[in-house]
Amino acid sequence: MRLRLTALFFSIAVIGAYAQPVKTHGQLKVEGTKLVDKNGKIVVLRGMSYGWHNLWPRFYNEGSVKWLKNDWKCTVVRAALGIELNDSGYLKNPISSAKKIEAVVDAAIKQGIYVIIDWHSHNIQLNEAKVFFAEMARLYGKKPNVIYEIFNEPDYETWPEVKAYCEEVIKTIRAIDPDNIILVGSPRWDQDIHLPAADPVKGYSNLMYTVHFYAATHKQWLRDKTDEAIKKGLAIFVSECAGMEASGNGPLNNEEWQKWIDWMEANQLSWITWSVSDKDETCSVLKKTAASDGNWKEADLKESGIKSREYLRKYNK
């Protein structure tokens, strides 16, 4: 009986540790090309990105975060701060926009998972970004849960332009938060990863560079390019990906998506799937019937939602 009770308590402890990845791994850092935890052990985070906060604000709440953690087994979520697009974007409505992001960040901290604060823009907005990330660093800089993604997907900017912007935002964050991971984007929607590999940001630690893929569009050529960047010493984080075309539409290419998953797992790369939203498109994982605060049944999930949940539950064991 005593042995059975000991085994039971051990099992409960293990489940509790898994359910609280931040409690297990603590402060993350970059060693070489790897993301590691407080004990120097390699960490692979896997989770979901919310859609633009100003387009799908109804999902930015504690209930949905809790559901993604408990049912989808996410160890990280990504809160996408929509910068432009409409009057609800950060540029025109910074206070309420920041509150939406804070709702997800606060919930992730409460649930013991990691959270990416994502400046979801394709354009350089330096002054606004510095103001926003200074505030986020003041609020959350002492929390090991937080990861800053300072430029979601530069599109037609040159790498020197993106690098100069990133250096200014990194400097702003590091003046307040010296430790938490910062994710840096690259031109052409995070596909020209060879450019920062040849000319990385210097003078700061705990930086990683983002690669984004959509499996029906981006195939072996992007994996090869990223392999070369890793060989040159770049730490990579796949902060947005999914199985359809880069447009967000079209059928899932499950064969190619699995190749990406296998490649990321072999390289011990963290990955985030796009997106928690209910738009009439392939990449939105939810149907209109999905409640705002989680408790989603399979009937509430689109094909991409069913597949994303399946992957997360499989690999986040």
- Indicate which residues carry an active-site annotation: 153, 240
Q: What's the CA gap between 253 and 234, in Å, rounded?
A: 28
In angstroms and rounded to an integer, the radius of gyration of the C-alpha atoms of the chain is: 19
How many Cα atoms within 13 Å fall on the side-chain side of residue 278? 16
Cα–Cα distances in angstroms (integers) from residue 153 to residues 14, 54, 121, 238, 257, in the given order: 37, 17, 6, 12, 20
Quote the tokens at residue 208.
């990683």
Name the helix (H) or strand (E) containing 81: strand 76-82
Quote the tokens at residue 304.
């991409």
Q: Where are the alpha helices (DSSP H) in the chain?
A: 2-19, 21-25, 62-70, 94-111, 126-140, 159-174, 187-190, 194-198, 220-231, 254-266, 303-315
Quote the tokens at residue 59.
């999902």
Q: What's the CA gap between 268 and 261, in Å, rounded?
A: 10
Q: What's the CA gap between 55 and 309, in Å, rounded?
A: 22
Q: How many other CB atoms sit within 10 Å of the CB of residue 301?
A: 18
**DSSP structure string for 184-234:** E--HHHHT-THHHHHS---S-SSEEEEEEEETTT--HHHHHHHHHHHHTT-
